[in-house]
Structure 1
Amino acid sequence: MRVTLSEVQRDVRDRFADLFDDDLGPCIRRMAELPARGSTDPGGTDAESAAVRDAVWRAMVDLGATRLLLPEKAGGEDARQAGAVMLCELLGAALYQGPLLDTYIAQEVLLRTLDTDADRIAETATGAPIAVAVRETATDALHRPGPALGTGDTLDGVRRFVGSVPESQYLLVVADDPAGVRCALVADGYQARRYDEVGRSQLFEVRFTGAPVVSWHLEDRDGWMQLVARARIRYAAYIIGSAQGALDLAVARSQERHQFGRPIGTFQAPAFRLAELAARIEATRWFVRAAAAEADTGSDSRLRAAQALSMAADVYGTTVLVAMQVHGAYGLTEDADIQLYYRRALIDRVWLGSPVEVRREVFPLLRDR
């Protein structure tokens, strides 16, 4: 396994580092707590929140975030999965919530029909965000999408737990189909209601009423599962970045919090625990990067993706628990950023499959090797 960064990976890391530095990172971390554009806010902060979110999105677009996965002939940089995971790590460390990861999924769908969807792909490259809608119930997921909302020119029905709807220009509605997985791209004809949930995420219930379909895309089952695998690799990078962000807060707090007249970080028990987590995060980070490199070769990446996601989810869960313990009661207050990581972990660890579910998928893949 390669444990050095390629030139492309270093370029991506260095290019986006300033956007997620110690000064701007905390602002992005709190961004999800601002009302999204189009919400009802009696406090009058809608304009301010929309400006913050739009500014972050535009900054990422200007730096090339929406062009990383696209090939050069589609106006992209062809950084591929290995380059994209470097940005995803930074996004996770800052707890970024927005449409970028969904836009990557949509771009991969649209690239299958590049000849007919070149204009739409060009829109995404220049900053048109796309949200992916897959769930009708809580048990649905990207690898197990909900039922179809129609097969003609319009859609009618509901999709739940859809991220970043108000700031997305399109929605990609994914549905199970006898022939595989059917995706419909829509631009209007729906209403969104934000959930009030413990993770304080940008998640919405979306109701479609005669929503006109811009384009249809049919994926065979095997091809869709490869797309899911690549999405899982990127998401594993995101949550291992989140684990690093939580660990950084815990290390800083261990130097600020005192017991018996000295920082708790100088005691062996918490120091060794934090050191162990640092080693696990670093090992998992390189495994995820290796999985991304393998996916770029065109080989079957389902096994490595499942392993990477399961490992990242496990270490993230452990890290936020230890970080909360290091913070003590202060970690439960609104002033402490660590509670944001703790809340988000409840959702992020299972978003593309829980560790138990993903491990269940791994067994037949190992058996068939």
Structure 2
Amino acid sequence: MTQFALTPEQRDIQQAAREFAQGEFPKYAREADEAEECPRKLYRQAAELGFQGLFFPEEYGGAGLGYLEFCLVVEEFWRADPGLGQALGSVVFGSDLILLYGTEEQKQRYLPPLTTGEAIMGAAITEPDAGSDISAARTTAVLDGDEWVISGTKIFITNGTIANFLIVYCLTDPEAPGRHGRHSCILVETDRPGFQATKLKGKMGIRASDTAEVVLDEVRVPATNLIGTRGEGFRQFMEFFNRTRLHVAAQGIGVAQGALDKAVRHVRQREQFGRPLASFQGVQFKIAEMATRVEAARSLLYRAAALVDAGTVDHRLIAMAKWLAGETGVRVTDEALQLHGGYGYLAENDVERFYRDAKIVEIYEGTKEVEKQIVARGVIGRPG
């Protein structure tokens, strides 16, 4: 059985991320939520401290570490503030596809700028009529000589208005017999003619993270911008999700731990009926349940991430971790707000923001229903 007790180096990374997030995020968190953007200063600081591209090999500017180390950073970022945590943690969103399937030239060109703070990227997958069913995506890419001509609309795209480049999931082979062999992944620089991104405002949570609608109107990119093999886009993204869902699970654990921290602080300080709230058995039971849920989700994630770093990608275990972490984030933040009473309902209290931020973990990178389906198929197989 793979062990996942943290090494001294991993604990140092965890502590460094905690000190940075706890020291810097509170200065900007509330304003960033209201303005719906992350200060550029934080992007630069996170890169300078080496938090971007931790799992990139050293030859591409990374630290040569693993997904577990990156999860530790994401967890601490979300523990301090989910909105800023998502903004900074998503700078390299989509890079897994380049690492897994990109050419050496693509890796050398696109990965190093992410680690230095010179670039931000993203992955454009979801469409207005293709959410969980990505095989229904209609954005087309037609090969015209030595260029791809891309047209279509993408929605809910992380970093859509601030990214330097996106990996776009495109329909390249509509006549292929199998629906899972019709799409490809193509890298698109956002300064190309025909590319337009519109920021989506008024999100319920993680408002500091950029989310956009992206329209591609006959955007031309070199044929060499194809990532991996033509027609393998669906399979590539399934492997991609097996990595990124680890990060999202870390988000759920982080927001839960942050809310738990705030709840413990509140019940120690707040008095009712002449006694601290923490002295009431009912409150103690709530705190015990919250802490146990967080620890259970964390243990499951660390095991799943450690296995990936050891070369074993267990999609069932990853789906378990992502689903449980999302549910834990939602349930623990709900209980934390409840323990704050009316004070928790006010925007001036950070637990209100954590409550709003937590829900997204059950939605993106595979809804909780999708994760449960993956788990069920792993346990009982495909019926029929």
TM-score of Structure 1 vs Structure 2, range by shorter chain: 0.7 to 0.9
Q: Which residue of 2 aligns with 1:291?
A: 304
Q: 1:110 is matched with which residue?
A: 98
Q: How does 1:100-179 map to 2 (within 5 A)?
A: 100-111=88-99, 112-117=101-106, 118-127=108-117, 128-137=119-128, 140-141=131-132, 146-152=137-143, 153-175=148-170, 178-179=180-181
User: Which amino acid letter does the alignment assign opposite residue 155 of structure 2?
Assistant: R
Picking from 342, 355, 366, the partner of 1:353 is 366
For the Cα contact (< 8 Å) 1:143–1:228, is it kept in 2? Answer: no
Give the match for residue 239 of structure 1: 252
Query: Using the alignment, how far apart are the partners of 1:281 and 1:60 within structure 2?
Result: 26
CA change 1:151–1:97 in 2 (3 A) is: farther
What is residue 41 of structure 1 aligned with on the other side?
Answer: none
CA displacement at 1:151 relative to structure 2? 3.2
SS in 2 for 1:270: helix
Give the structure-1-normalised TM-score: 0.87
Deviation, structure 1 residue 200: 5.6
2:15 is aligned with 1:24: no
Is 1:87 aligned to residue 73 of structure 2? yes
Give the CA deviation at 1:291.
0.5
Structure 1 gaps, min length 5: 37-48
Partner of 2:198: 192
Structure 1 12/82 Cα, relative in aligned 2: closer, same or farther at 3 Å?
same
- 1:249-286 CA-partner distances (Å, limit 9, x unpaired): 11112123321122212111011111221122112112
Distance in 2 of aligned mates of 1:108 and 1:200: 22
Q: Which residue of 1 aligns with 2:175?
A: none
1:77 aligns with 2:63: yes
Shift of residue 144, structure 1, vs aligned partner: 5.7
- The 3 A distance-change label for structure 1 pair 142 and 84 is farther
Q: Indicate the residue corresponding to 2:211 in structure 1.
A: 203
**Aligned residue type for 1:283:** A
Tell me which residue corresponds to 2:294.
281
Whole-Å Cα distance in 2 between the matches of residues 56 and 367 of structure 1?
A: 46
How many equivalent pairs are there?
354
Q: Which amino acid aligns with 2:163?
A: S
Separation in 2, partners of 1:272, 1:251: 12
**Counterpart residue type for residue 353 of structure 1:** G
How far residue 224 of structure 1 moved from its aligned partner, in angstroms, is 3.0
C-alpha contact (below 8 Å) 2:33/2:206 kept by paired residues: yes
Gaps in structure 2 of 5+ consecutive residues: 173-179
SS in 2 for 1:66: coil
Say what the alpha-carbon RMSD is for the aligned residues.
2.5
Shift of 1:97: 4.8
- SS class of match (1:174): strand
CA–CA separation in structure 2 for the residues paired with 1:226 and 1:56: 30
Letter in 2 for 1:148: T
Contact 2:94 2:121 in 1 (8 A): yes
- The 8 Å contact of residues 226 and 301 in structure 1, kept in 2 or not, is answered as no
Q: Partner of 2:35 in structure 1?
A: 35
- Amino acid aligned to 1:208: L
Matching residue's letter, 1:207: V
For 1:134, give the aligned amino acid: I
For 2:240 and 2:340, locate their aligned partners in 1 and report how far apart those are by CA, in whole Å.
39
User: 1:243 Cα shift?
Assistant: 0.6
How far off its partner does 1:180 sit?
A: 5.8
Q: 2:322 & 2:124 partners in 1: Cα distance?
A: 21
Is the Cα contact below 8 Å between 2:135 and 2:183 reproduced in 1? no
